[in-house]
């Protein structure tokens, strides 16, 4: 099973989706593809680093992670749209026609999500949206602490991992499949 | 009787792409304009223009908070229930405007009502129509085929239920119930947690939508 996500401002939407799929889907072999634009590069680094943490690994299981740079700063004009579409088309080609794809619509710009959904037509896909009930202020506050600690190689507290990457357990998933 | 064609439009700060959507869908019966406090002024302007164009029979204005996907779905689905009790509708969504929550919610609704969703992209000075593939869910049709299906789902409740208790409440054999429960699980409406059946987030929303 492939989980295709767009990374926005919070890496939590990826780790939470992975944890949820691990606990709720029969197919335990998950390949997670994370699309990102240049303006969220810092968050990509956060995600890359935290995925090495034993505590995170235990929660999301053994996942094959693939990061794909869309190569744009943000999605603002026709050129950006074309570049985004080209990246997604390439990814879908690599995935293969009969594989099950879960589209994680929680992160990224609305336009990116819509373009992704449009390109996925004709495929065997499901739709997943993370709803976090942890106050946004807490996530924003933690974001800078976590970035700083990871940059300096300081070990994150359990609570920081639990809150930032798993919304302190206060998240729900809206999952919609064919 | 044919289906009532309803177009639902979340309204943001641009109304041109919202009007443009009517080039692709004609004979729309009702239009539901969904807006927030911030986009109210734009929704009113759109309403005025649609009235002047006389292309729809009725315009329904719905102000929503759109704080989260479940809360927005709850708000908008109660409005749809109120407007179209037991009517057969085709729900078309123009998901170009409004916030991401609004657009995704309308997309879900169109999927449930076997409708279509589309987005209008601005390409330089022109516009481009893009249809977004919906899930084409059979959930609503399946539930509405027989009253017992809705009753079973309702009986699961917020806290979940054990099979033997469900059997007592709905007065059906465990074997019959297992058939329906498996079907509900296939449709993503319920999950099994230990010895209890529980509603998923989709299940909670759907039950609110189909309950009388």
> What tokens were used for A101?
């794809």
Residues in chain B closer than 8 A to A24 (CB atoms): 191
pLDDT (tens digit per residue) in B142-200: 888 888 999 999 999 878 999 999 999 999 999 999 999 999 998 889 998 889 999 99
Mutate to test the interface with A, among B105, B106, B110, B133 (most CBs of A within 10 A): B133
Nearest to B201 among A78, A174, A178 (CB): A174
pLDDT (tens digit per residue) in A20-59: 999 988 888 999 999 999 999 999 999 999 999 999 999 9
Instruction: Name which CATH class applies to A2-177.
Output: alpha beta
Q: CB-based contacts of B199: which residues, under 8 Å, 6+ apart? A: B153, B156, B157, B158, B160, B189, B190, B207
* Residue A73, pLDDT above cutoff 90: no
> What tokens were used for A171?
């998240």
Residue boundaries of the structural domains of chain B:
4-132, 139-210
**Scanning every residue of chain B, which has its alpha carbon at the shortest distance from the alpha carbon of A176?**
B188
Query: Other C-beta atoms within 10 Å of B81: how many?
Result: 15
The reported pLDDT for the residue numbered A78 is 82
Q: Which of A140, A128, A131, A136 is nearest to A171 (CA)?
A: A131
**Scanning every residue of chain A, which has its alpha carbon at the shortest distance from the alpha carbon of B98?**
A110
Instruction: Name which CATH class applies to B4-132.
Output: alpha beta
Is A35 within 8 Å of A68 (Cβ atoms)? yes
Residue B5, classed as helix, strand or coil, is strand
The reported pLDDT for the residue numbered B136 is 64
Task: Name the pLDDT band for B212 (thresholds 50, 70, 90).
Answer: low
pLDDT (tens digit per residue) in B105-142: 999 899 888 789 999 988 777 888 988 887 767 788 88
DSSP B56-101: -SEEEEEE----SHHHHHHHHHHHHHHHSTT--EEEEEETTSS-HH
* Residue B101: its H or E element: helix B100-112
The correct CATH number of B139-210 out of 1.10.10.10, 3.40.30.10, 3.30.565.10, 1.10.540.10 is 1.10.10.10
Q: Which of A97, A106, A126 is nearest to A171 (CA)?
A: A106
Q: Which of A96, A161, A163, A157 is nearest to A136 (CA)?
A: A163
ipTM of the complex: 0.83
* Residue B94, pLDDT above cutoff 90: yes
pLDDT (tens digit per residue) in B1-55: 678 999 999 999 999 999 999 999 988 999 999 999 999 999 999 999 999 999 9
Provide the Cα torsion B211, B72, B35, B39; round to 10°.
Answer: 170
The reported pLDDT for the residue numbered B1 is 63
């Amino acid at each position: 099973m492939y989980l295709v996500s767009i990374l926005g401002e919070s890496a939590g939407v990826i780790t939470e989706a992975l944890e949820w799929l691990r606990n709720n889907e029969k197919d335990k072999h998950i390949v997670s593809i994370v699309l990102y634009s240049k303006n969220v590069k810092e968050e990509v680094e956060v995600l890359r680093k935290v995925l090495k943490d034993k505590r995170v690994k235990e929660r999301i299981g053994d996942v094959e992670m693939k990061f794909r740079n869309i190569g744009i700063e943000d999605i603002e004009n026709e050129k950006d749209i074309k570049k985004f579409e080209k990246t997604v088309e390439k990814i879908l080609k690599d995935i293969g026609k009969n594989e099950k794809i879960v589209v994680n619509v929680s992160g990224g710009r609305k336009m990116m999500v819509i373009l992704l959904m449009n390109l996925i037509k004709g495929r065997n896909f499901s739709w997943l949206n993370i709803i976090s009930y942890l106050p946004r202020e807490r996530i924003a506050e933690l974001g800078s602490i976590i970035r700083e600690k990871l940059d300096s190689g300081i070990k994150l507290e359990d609570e920081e991992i639990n809150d930032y990457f798993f919304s302190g357990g206060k998240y729900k998933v809206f999952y919609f499949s064919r | 009787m044919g289906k009532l064609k309803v177009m639902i439009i979340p309204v943001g700060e641009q109304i041109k792409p919202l009007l443009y959507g009517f080039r692709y869908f004609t004979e729309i019966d009702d239009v539901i304009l969904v807006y927030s406090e911030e986009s109210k002024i734009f929704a009113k302007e759109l309403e005025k223009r649609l009235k002047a164009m006389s292309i729809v029979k009725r315009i329904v204005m719905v102000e929503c908070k759109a704080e989260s996907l479940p809360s927005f779905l709850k708000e908008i689905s109660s409005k749809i229930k109120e407007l179209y009790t037991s009517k057969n509708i085709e729900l078309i969504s123009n998901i170009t405007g409004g916030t991401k929550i609004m657009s995704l919610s309308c997309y879900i609704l169109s999927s449930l009502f076997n409708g279509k969703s589309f987005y209008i992209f601005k390409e330089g000075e022109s516009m481009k129509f893009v249809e977004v593939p919906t899930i084409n869910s059979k959930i609503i049709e399946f539930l509405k085929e027989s009253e017992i299906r809705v009753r079973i789902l309702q009986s699961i409740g917020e806290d979940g239920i054990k099979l033997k208790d469900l059997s007592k409440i709905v007065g059906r054999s465990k074997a019959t119930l297992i058939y329906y429960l498996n079907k509900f699980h296939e449709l993503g409406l319920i999950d099994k947690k230990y010895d209890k059946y529980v509603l998923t987030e989709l299940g909670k929303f759907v039950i609110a939508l189909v309950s009388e």
